[in-house]
Amino acid sequence: MVAVSTGRTTTIRDVAARAGVSKSLVSLVLRGDPGVSPARRDAVTRAIEELGYQPSRVAQVLGARRSGTVGVLLNDLRNPWFVDLLAGVTATLDTVGLAPVLVDSATSRRVGGLPVDQLLRQQVDGIVVVGTTEDGEELRRAATVVPIVLAGTYEPADLGPGAAAVDVVVNDDVEGAAAATKHCVDLGHTAVTHLRGPGRVGDLRVQGYREAMSTAGLEPVVVPGGMSEESGYAAARRVLAGRRRPTAIVAYNDLAAIGALSAAHDLTLSVPEEVSIVGYDNTYLAMIRHLSLTSVENGSLAIGVQAARFLAERIDGQARAPRVHQVPASLVVRRTTSSPPTS
C-alpha cells in the first residue's frame, strides 16, 4: 500500500493507532526488541509503511533512555583557550555517536539562568565541564544523575555523597608555570612577577612559579591578575607603574598576558626590551604575528580528546574508579621575551 500524505507529520501515536497497539510497543519494535511477537511486529511494520512514518533520531534515543547528547559547560565562550579543547571534545564525541550541547555559564548566569539545570532539562547523557566554573553546587546535584568529567579544571573536586566518580583531565600546571618562570630567569631576569588566576589551577600555577623562583634564589611576587584581558591590564598597569617595576611578567593565561602587553604600551614601555611577558595556553592569539606572544602550550586539544573518551566510557558504564589524566606542558618562545635591560 502506498503511503498517503495527511498534510502533517506522522507521529508514533498515529502508528500505534493504525496497528492497534500501544505507543510503548511501537517503541519496542523500533528498538528491535526480541520480546515482541511476530504478529504484532508485522502489524507495526505495516503501519509504518502505510503511513510513511520516519522515526527520528531523538525519538529512538529517548526510547533507549538516552538523548545521544552531551552537555559541554564553558565558563566564558570569549576565552580562545576553549577553541582547541572543544575541537578535541566534539571530534571524539562524534566518533561514538554523541552530539555536544554547549552552554556558556557566564552568559547564562548574567540573564538569571541556571546553566547546569539547562543541560539536565535537555536530558543530556553526561556533562564535560571546561575550565574553572562557579557552578559547583549545581554540578554536585547533577553528579548524582549523570556522569561528569572535568576538563582543564579540578573543580568542583568534591561532588558530595551519592555522586558517581568524576574523572579529571588537566594540563600539568605546575610544570607549565615553572617552565615559563625558568625561561625568564635563564634570560637573566631577577624581578619576575606572576599575575595569578582563580581556583585550583591558579594555585598550581602559583606553585610552579614559586618553585622556579625559589630554585633561582629569587623573591617571588604574586599579584591577583584574573583570567581576562581587562583584569590582566589592570594588574599589570599597577605593577609596571610601581616603584619596584618587574622586568618580566608571567601571566595566568594568554588573555591576561595580552592585557599586560596593552598596559606596557600605555606606559610607553617597550616589549621585550624593557619588560618581557609570558602567557599561558598558547592560544591562536599568541600566534598572531603582530603579538608573537611567548606562551605555555597546555595540550588543550589532547585534553578535549581524553575528556570525551572518559565521558563516553562512563556513559557506557565501563568506568568505575575516578581517574586523573595529566597532559604535559611545554613552552613556546616567541618575540615577547628577551634579556632584561642593562640599566
Residue 105 near residue 74 (C-beta atoms within 8 A)? yes
Residue 88 near residue 302 (C-beta atoms within 8 A)? yes
Residues 230-278 have pLDDT tens digits of: 999 999 999 999 999 999 999 999 999 999 999 999 999 999 999 999 9
Residues 168-178 have pLDDT tens digits of: 999 999 999 99
Gap between the terminal Cα atoms of the chain: 92
Average pLDDT, the chain: 87
Residues 37-72 have pLDDT tens digits of: 888 888 988 888 888 877 654 444 444 557 889 999
Task: Give the model's pLDDT for residue 32.
Answer: 65
pLDDT beneath 50, residues of the chain: 1-7, 57-63, 162
Task: Give the model's pLDDT for residue 250.
Answer: 98
Task: Give the model's pLDDT for residue 157.
Answer: 63
Distance CA 129, CA 152 (A): 8
Task: Give the model's pLDDT for residue 142.
Answer: 84
